[in-house]
Amino acid sequence: MPPRTTPTQRQRRLGAEVKKLRTEAGLTAEYVAGLLGIDRGKISNIESGIRTISPDRLRTLATHCACADEQYLIALEEMAQPAKPQWWHEYRGRVSPGLLDIVELEWHASSIQTAQTAHVPGLLQTEDYARSIFAAVLPPLPHPEVELRLAHRMDRQRVLERAEPPAYTGYIHEAALRMLFGGRDATREQLKALIEWSERDNVRVRVIPFELGSFPGAGHAALYAKGPVPQLDTVQLDTAHGPAFMHAELQLSKYRAHLEWMDRMSLSVTASRDLIRNIIKDL
């Protein structure tokens, strides 16, 4: 199979884990190439995510790296399986690869936590609210592009509506709830929808009130996706140039600490609903 030119984030992550296995065991790329019976150059391609590694070869490598974490290896083998057709594949070539990477990350997460300070989390947005966000992009997007991104964003909600959805917690600063994206009517409907989402068994909405003052991670939007094992957790951050994905242990520890603080200090689910209702009345 020829190498891919644009691997997905999930494929790059598998490659990074393969490289970590090899380097932590002190094995050279030449040694691993001989072990797996492939060219030396293909090891670099596997580790960068532009070539696949079969589950059998992955298991062989893990054995020679003395990796005894069976649950971790099972998770890696699952990542190495050929990708099955998924709903977001219909957007390939139509939206940016980074947006597709976010969807794939959410879909495979065992749980999702997000922190937002400027607007309601993307997974919980209504059409009018989301449309106003896309319409405010500079330079302005053509109307068909706005509608395409809107359709993609609405489709992302499938992850929370499927038969076995991940647990989702959205930490939202009070400031984000008072921003009038799309005007008062659109914001009012968005806040009502937020309450409805929070009444689902798998969704929690927690508000960070103004009165708390400063807090860790202020000004940053973050998504923390838990993998099947802690080693495969991922943080996704929004940037002006597209989504950034991080998975180094020090980075994960930093954002775990941020989210643990938010879990301790945010209003309860019930108190959050009450505050949202009060904001609706003010509109």
Beta strand 167-173 with 111-116: parallel, antiparallel or unpaired?
parallel
96-282 placed in CATH 3.30.70: no
- Could you say which architecture CATH assigns to the domain 9-80? Orthogonal Bundle (1.10)
Domain definitions of the chain by residue range: 9-80, 96-282
pLDDT tens for 124-167 read: 999 999 999 999 988 999 999 999 999 999 999 999 999 999 99
pTM: 0.94
As a whole number, the mean pLDDT across the chain is: 95
Task: Report yes or no: 110 and 16 within 8 Å, Cβ to Cβ.
Answer: no
Percentage with pLDDT > 90 across the chain: 90
- Burial class of residue 223 in the structure, from the number of CB atoms within 10 Å of its CB (0-12 exposed, 13-18 middle, 19+ buried): buried
Please give the residue that has the higher pLDDT: either 277 or 220. 277
pLDDT tier at 244 (50, 70, 90 boundaries)? very high
Residue 240 — pLDDT band, cuts 50, 70, 90?
confident
Confidence bin at 218 (pLDDT 50/70/90): confident
Are 194 and 276 in contact by the 8 Å Cβ rule? The answer is: yes
* Mean pLDDT, range 8-14, rounded to an integer: 96
